[in-house]
Amino acid sequence: MRFSLSHILAPRQSPAQFFAMARALGCTDVEIRNDTPNVVGTVPAAEVKAAAEAAGVNLLSINALYPFNVWNDERRAQTEALADYAAACGAKALVMCPLNEGKPVAQADLVAALKAIKPILVERGIQGLVEPLGFPVSSLRRKADAIAAIQAAGGEGLFKLVHDTFHHHLAGETEFFPEWTGLVHISGVADPDVAVDDMLDAHRVLVDKRDRLGNVAQIRALRAAGYQSPFSFEPFATEVQELADPQPALADSMAWLREQVGA
């Protein structure tokens, strides 16, 4: 399995420290963020690019453009700034997340946003990774709806999906779209008491035998259907983020997943 790491899991590490940890774990792919930590807003793109090149890691994406499906002048400026940064630091894609505040967004508005984003990404040679969010309050919960919008916007090839194992489970999805999937985010939920509809980012930990999301089954299904890109660790729980040294815990999770998926 080809693993990647999202900087969300070790927000106290500098990019250079984070990239070095990735390589120590055998990973050559990483994701940086514009929130936790806000690498985009605090570290010059040239510095990130140099650190990635020195460590020998690929910058898969910047996470994330939000809310990409609410298009206005502010969103255009935000998209251009993030795409400029991605191009300058060498990131290959921009993760795009929908409005997640309990307000619906019409499919026509989703299509219009994708059409507006297209030339911005094309001009800079950046791919768009649409990530449906499975929360009940999300305006785009299911991958099939995202694919329909991409097709309506004429965005095939430019836009791919992020399959997030957490959001796939929350949305109650059963269908996999490996040919549309550019990246997979993985995290687990171990809390035995929280109901599915009440699961939040704060519940997302490293995947182990306590996992309630069916990560192993999801990964097996994706691989069997032909998905060959990275599986990127994206735990949001503070118990992971505050680890003094997350490397041993990550190594354990990777080993467990390899064993279970291959069993």
Residue 246 belongs to a domain with what CATH number?
Answer: 3.20.20.150
- 31: tokens are 């994701």
Structure tokens at 126: 């950046």
* Alpha-carbon span 8 to 3, nearest angstrom: 15
Tokens 């990409």 belong to which residue?
A: 68
What pLDDT was estimated at residue 252? 98
Per-residue model confidence (pLDDT) at position 200: 98
Total number of domains in the chain: 1
Q: What is the pLDDT at residue 227? A: 98
Contacts for 84 with CB less than 8 Å, ≥ 6 apart: 124
Collect the ranges in the chain with pLDDT lower than 70: none
Instruction: Return the structure tokens found at 82.
Output: 């993030």
- Cα Rg of the chain (Å, integer): 17
* pLDDT attached to residue 263: 86
Cβ atoms within 10 Å of 114's Cβ, excluding its own: 26
Question: Cβ–Cβ contacts within 10 Å for residue 179, how many?
Answer: 11
Question: Which candidate, 85, 71, 158, 176, places its Cα nearest to that of 121?
Answer: 158
Structural domain containing residue 146: 3-262
pLDDT tens-digit map of 75-97: 999 999 999 999 999 999 999 99
